[in-house]
Amino acid sequence: MSNTTAMSLSGKNVVVIGGTSGIGLATAIAASELGANVWAAGRSAAHIEKARATVGSRVTIMSADTHDSASLQAVFKEAGVIHHLVSAATGGSRTMKPFVEQTDEQFQAAFGKLWGYSNVVRTGVPFLAQDGSITLVSGAPARKLKANASALSCVGAAVENLVRCLAIELAPIRVNVVSPGIIDTALFDGLGDKRDAAVAGMVKGQLIERVGRPEEVASALIYLMNNGYATGTTVDVDGGQLLR
């Protein structure tokens, strides 16, 4: 089998939740370029508008929230039989400060990501093809532990463990997770003119000392869609962050 054939998604139905910006949008575009029918959904009106302008008719852009089952159902029904389901949605807020200085509410808010993913899976499974796949997105902090990142680390680890549990329970549907490092997405936009300096500090000392691109993470998500023998697997795309 040629590499071109192996990487084809021709005729497959792919749904990307959290697919209107960053890693999710890059994944939706990559899947469409490989011949898939793609639906990408997000909750930010600004991101939805920008995504529509970016992808044109190549990808169907819809509105959905991981915590709103009705909106997810609408996307899944539109797609019909889903061959590959991806969720890259943040789903919760992140508090970066010492654990003992966080309130219960701040710490628990990070787990909105886990509850959102849980809702995507529960709502989406009835629409999955028997040989389909689900891929979620965690993050390097799940296993690269740093001070002031307890909430982020704990929710990432929970997502990765959920994937292993689901791989067993949902087989033969395959369930995997991609764990990105520091990626150039809209999450850094709020830093303003301090953005470049802040990101440079974050990647200092990595084996690949630069910020990653959404397209580089998307390629790992595409790989997991195509590899029919991969399940319960975590794929790291982090510039060697775990090794520094």
Enclosing domain of residue 60 = 3-185+215-234
194 CB-near residues (< 8 Å, 6+ apart): none
Q: What is the CATH number for 13?
A: 3.40.50.720
Residue 239 falls within a domain, yes or no?
no
For residue range 29-55, list pLDDT tens digits in order. Answer: 999 999 999 999 999 999 999 999 999
For residue range 198-240, list pLDDT tens digits in order. Answer: 888 889 889 999 999 999 999 999 999 999 999 999 999 999 9
Return the pLDDT at 155: 96
3-state secondary structure of 133: strand
Residue 110 falls within a domain, yes or no?
yes
pTM of the model: 0.93
Percent of the chain beyond pLDDT 90? Answer: 84
Domain count, the chain: 1
Residue 139 falls within a domain, yes or no?
yes
Residue 67 falls within a domain, yes or no?
yes
Report the alpha-carbon distance of residue 184 to residue 237 in Å, rounded.
13
**Is the predicted pLDDT of residue 59 greater than 70, yes or no?**
yes
Residue 45 falls within a domain, yes or no?
yes
Residue 122 falls within a domain, yes or no?
yes
